[in-house]
């Protein structure tokens, strides 16, 4: 692979404005033109084309008015000079090009290129590859209707697409859609990876993400701090719970799992089994009386007790526990409400999921000693928004959840976000293979287990989310993405956990 592009994505993530300011200041400091970066960006995209599409002879390049369009002019020129047949559609106005964009435009013309008008039928019959340079990271507001129509037509073609910096129509800061969005096969991000490319709707449109630092990435990351980063296994290895030679079940954490209403024993079963496989020493489940027998049979390693509203039983269970997991299979009836009300103010570290989040939404309160793990629907309920509003800007959603409820927030979904009030972490693992019932229940068990074994709230959330996703990814890679069950992931979690522990001791 060319040295100027890489599949390895830097851990630090940025907004488009941070990159815009940084690249300008660094070019001034280093004494070269911004046009140098435009040339390098075009070279990086063309290096990707050479790598991924070496036999693509007929290339159609779409250019817009911004610097993104200038990069596209550079790509077109390089491809033409390399002997490929290039057609260029300029969806802009020459007089609106920046000085650097105008230079790139002129180099295209000087290389013998021209501006073409082309119909959808011509695209279908004539091209091997499309380069998307229509809209860049600077777009604000909705995409114009005429351009949305063009993007829609492009997406309906069976032609591979490479996007420059961001698929046109996608907000690189939030991962939200600004209308129709180019559905790319590959995207190249420059200097600092834009945070919105890794979460939410972006997962549908970015395709395979490549990075090109354009020669200033190291200094950029040193000089410009950010509070958003990708979850790193290397970082997490240092905080995994270690077992001493004299460890026993009482020293490996005591977890109380609350839930399992009548007809919903499966969720608390998955939660407790996942906690056991993650290494918790002792686990007790308090559940509805109708669920206790099935739970005792399915997981004899877990202590199971039915709860019928007795305060003393609940008090004794809480005295046993280091950590409380509340919500899996809890339901929303009177039994569940009683259970939630008696636990919500308990002074123990807690992990809340599922129906516990429903009851929290009815009586919001802040608690710095808990982890909330909502999926987008639950996040919408907690904030009084729609799922679409949550997914349109997941960064704002996770911030608002923390402001309203405190603690550590785990906003599940494509590109799970974790926020503790200071830093946001994005999980770049996981896949649609995980879209099946019970996955959230085992995540609650994993995170609760790590918390019970001594990790901090943020360490448990980060480690648990990545462990969960990596385990699922490994199974999907071996066996395929369809039909993956939450129960399948539990045994794999144990294997990944032990592998990480062995790596941490090297």
Give the residue ranges of the annotated binding site for (6S)-NADPHX: 67-71, 136-142, 165, 267, 329, 375, 441
Residues in the annotated binding site for K(+): 68, 132, 168
Strand segments, DSSP code E, in 303-396 are 303-306, 323-326, 350-352, 370-372
Cα-flanking dihedrals φ and ψ of residue 126, to 5°?
-120, -10
The token duo for 480 is: 């395929």
Residue indicated by tokens 């958003």: 228
The token duo for 421 is: 């009030």
Residues in the annotated binding site for AMP: 412-416, 440
**C-alpha–C-alpha distance, residues 90 and 108, integer Å:** 12
Cα torsion at 102, 105, 107, 108 (round to 10°)? 180
**C-alpha–C-alpha distance, residues 135 and 168, integer Å:** 5
The residue among 375, 296, 284 whose CA lies nearest residue 321 is 284
**C-alpha–C-alpha distance, residues 474 and 477, integer Å:** 5
Buried/exposed code over 320-358 (b: 16+ C-beta within 10 A; e: otherwise): ebbbbbbbbbbbeeebbbebbebbbebeebbbbbbbbbb
Distance of CA 206 to the CA centre of its chain: 12
Mapped onto helix, strand or coil, the DSSP state of residue 132 is strand
**C-alpha–C-alpha distance, residues 209 and 5, integer Å:** 10
**Is residue 270 a contact partner of residue 442, using CB atoms and an 8 Å limit?**
yes
What is the edge-to-edge ordering of all strands in the sheet holding 186-190? 85-90, 58-63, 129-133, 161-164, 186-190, 208-212
Mapped onto helix, strand or coil, the DSSP state of residue 90 is strand
Residues forming beta bridges with residue 419, ordered by sequence position: 409, 424
**C-alpha–C-alpha distance, residues 12 and 228, integer Å:** 6
Residues in the annotated binding site: 67-71, 132, 136-142, 165, 168, 267, 329, 375, 412-416, 440-441
**C-alpha–C-alpha distance, residues 130 and 158, integer Å:** 10
**Is residue 373 a contact partner of residue 412, using CB atoms and an 8 Å limit?**
yes
Q: How many other C-beta atoms can be found within 10 angstroms of the C-beta atom of residue 30?
A: 11
Q: Strand pairing of 161-164 and 129-133?
A: parallel
The token duo for 262 is: 């009548």
* CA R_g for the chain: 26
**C-alpha–C-alpha distance, residues 327 and 354, integer Å:** 5
């Amino acid at each position: 692979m060319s040295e100027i592009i890489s599949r390895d994505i830097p851990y630090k993530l940025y907004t488009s404005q941070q990159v815009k300011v940084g690249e300008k200041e660094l070019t001034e400091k280093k004494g070269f033109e911004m046009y140098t970066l435009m040339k390098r960006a075009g070279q990086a995209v063309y290096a990707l084309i050479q790598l991924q599409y070496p036999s693509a002879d007929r290339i159609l390049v779409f250019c817009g008015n911004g610097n993104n369009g200038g990069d596209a002019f550079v790509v077109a020129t390089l491809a033409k000079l390399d002997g490929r047949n290039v057609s260029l559609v300029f969806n802009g106005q020459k007089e609106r090009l920046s000085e650097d964009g105008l230079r790139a435009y002129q180099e295209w013309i000087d290389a013998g290129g021209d501006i073409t008008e082309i119909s959808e039928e011509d695209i279908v019959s004539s091209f091997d590859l499309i380069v998307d340079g229509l809209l860049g990271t600077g777009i604000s507001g909705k995409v114009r209707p005429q351009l949305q129509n063009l993007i829609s037509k492009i997406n309906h073609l069976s032609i591979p697409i490479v996007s420059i910096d961001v698929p046109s129509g996608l907000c690189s800061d939030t991962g939200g859609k600004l209308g129709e969005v180019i559905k790319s096969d590959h995207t190249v991000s420059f200097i600092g990876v834009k945070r919105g490319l890794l979460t939410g709707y972006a997962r549908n449109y970015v395709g395979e993400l490549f990075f090109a630092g354009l020669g200033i990435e190291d200094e950029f990351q040193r000089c410009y701090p950010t509070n958003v980063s990708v979850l790193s296994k290397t970082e997490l290895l240092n905080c995994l719970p270690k077992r001493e030679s004299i460890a026993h079940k009482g020293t490996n954490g005591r977890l109380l799992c609350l839930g399992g209403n009548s007809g919903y024993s499966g969720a608390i079963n998955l939660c407790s089994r996942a906690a056991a496989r993650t290494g918790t020493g002792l686990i007790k489940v308090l559940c509805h009386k109708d669920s206790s027998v099935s739970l005792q049979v399915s997981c004899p390693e877990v202590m199971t007790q039915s709860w019928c509203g007795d305060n003393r039983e609940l008090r004794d269970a809480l005295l046993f526990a280091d950590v409380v997991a509340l919500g899996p299979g809890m339901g929303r009836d009177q039994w569940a409400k009683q259970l939630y009300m008696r636990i919500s103010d308990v002074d123990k570290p807690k992990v809340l999921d599922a129906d516990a989040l429903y009851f929290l939404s009815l009586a919001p309160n802040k608690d710095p000693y808990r982890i909330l793990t909502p999926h987008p629907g639950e996040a919408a309920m907690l904030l009084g928004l729609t799922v679409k509003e949550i997914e349109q800007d997941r960064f704002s959603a996770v911030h608002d959840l923390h402001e309203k409820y405190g603690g550590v927030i785990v906003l599940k979904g494509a590109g799970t976000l974790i926020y503790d009030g200071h830093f946001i972490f994005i999980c770049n693992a996981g896949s649609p293979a995980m879209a099946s019932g019970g996955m959230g229940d085992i995540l609650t068990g994993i995170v609760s287990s790590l918390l019970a074994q001594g990790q901090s709230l943020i360490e448990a959330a980060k480690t648990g989310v990545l462990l969960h996703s990596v385990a699922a990814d490994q199974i999907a890679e071996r066996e395929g993405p369809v039909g993956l069950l939450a129960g399948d992931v539990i045994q794999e979690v144990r294997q990944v956990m032990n592998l990480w522990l062995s790596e941490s001791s090297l």
